[in-house]
Structure 1
Amino acid sequence: MRIAPRPGGGLTSAQASHVTVHGEIAVSWRHENGEMVVDVVVPAGTDADVVLPLHPDSLTETVGSGNHSWRYEVPVDERPVYSMETSLNVLAADPVVWRGVTAVFAKHLPGIPIDGTAPEAAVMSLDIVLGYIPGASEELRADLERAVTDSNTQGVHA
């Protein structure tokens, strides 16, 4: 078995379990106070490769059946600095930022989608998009700027 939790998207903890023909396998993780805590239960008679998420050495441990636990410091992840000139495809690749950008569009321009994966997204920025919106309000611009720049100070992806 391979257990590879993938923290992200603003989550600070998660847990899951699954019943296999060998018994129940379970994993839980939480990111708290700069540390990652990972707990795994492996069914009797089986082994698992556990990929420790956000581990500073990208560690994978092979473990046998039983309860296993790890606690380690997580390196601080410096967030990229975004602006209104950052291309849409770069913004869309960051789920935290893109969630904020799409929420602003839903608020100000309901029903009008914004696609950060389209080929033209590589050469389009929010500044350029605003130029194509007749009568774009200053509130729309301010909300987009906030969605993009607030992410610059969020620190670690949890």
Structure 2
Amino acid sequence: MARPKTHNKAVCQNPECSFFRKENGKDITKQGKNYAGHQRFLCKHCSVVFVETKGTPLYQKKLSERKIKAICKELVEKKGIRAVERTLNVHRDTVGNLLKDLAEHALSMTNYMVHDLKLSAYEVDELWTFVKKNKKNLSETTMNSLSAMKPLSRRA
């Protein structure tokens, strides 16, 4: 008797897999956790193991998700890198590298919206305005991610 398909939210992150980022027909199983405590998954179609944070600013970070959220909150409050270093006891290079990764992720999200979804720069700006007005309804993680992207949407 065949085992039932998994019902987790993960999709294959291997671009060479025929089920790359596809929900229908996926066959993903849990494969333990990595050193940072993030869930690992195995795609049964291509036998590639990937982490749940792949494609996010949390990917390959040794800091805990809680610490990264705290850094993001401090940066959103317009604190400087050295101020964040002092308040959270994290080295300034770590804060700077995280800020660079967040900016790259935000730029790729904005480029995706402008180029792949064919939104104009005005539509992207309207999206950020809408999100800002409705931020009380969003989760903290979503709000931190979107706050980091806002300034870059005007460049597109």
**TM-score normalised according to structure 2 size:** 0.25
> Higher strand fraction: Structure 1 or Structure 2?
1
Structure index of larger Rg: 1
**TM-score normalised according to structure 1 size:** 0.25
> Higher helix fraction: Structure 1 or Structure 2?
2
